[in-house]
Amino acid sequence: MITAEDCALELARVVGGQHPGRTSDRQVSVFNSVGIGLEDAAVGRLLLDAARERGLGTEITLSS
């Protein structure tokens, strides 16, 4: 059973190294992504730029 206490951790604390997150393979992480779509687009752009700089991934054309 998941309790309110289980859901009290912010993702930023895990990413920032303030909390270990999962400590075993039996644990599950759940992320409720709610907020402004512009934030998602901004993060996507940062990831795309970083991947291009490192020569990672495969670019595809989505329009004909």
Convert the pLDDT of each residue in 46-59 to its tens digit.
999 999 999 999 98
Q: What is the pLDDT of residues 28-43, one digit of tens each?
A: 887 777 778 888 888 8
CA distance 42 to 47: 9
Q: At 44, phi and psi to the nearest 5?
A: -60, -40
Provide the pLDDT for residue 51: 94
Neighbours of 9 (CB within 10 A): 13
- The three-point CA angle 13-14-18 to 5° equals 55
- Number of other CB atoms surrounding residue 25 within 10 Å: 6
- What is the pLDDT, as a whole number, of residue 3? 81
Choose between 58 and 12: higher pLDDT. Answer: 58
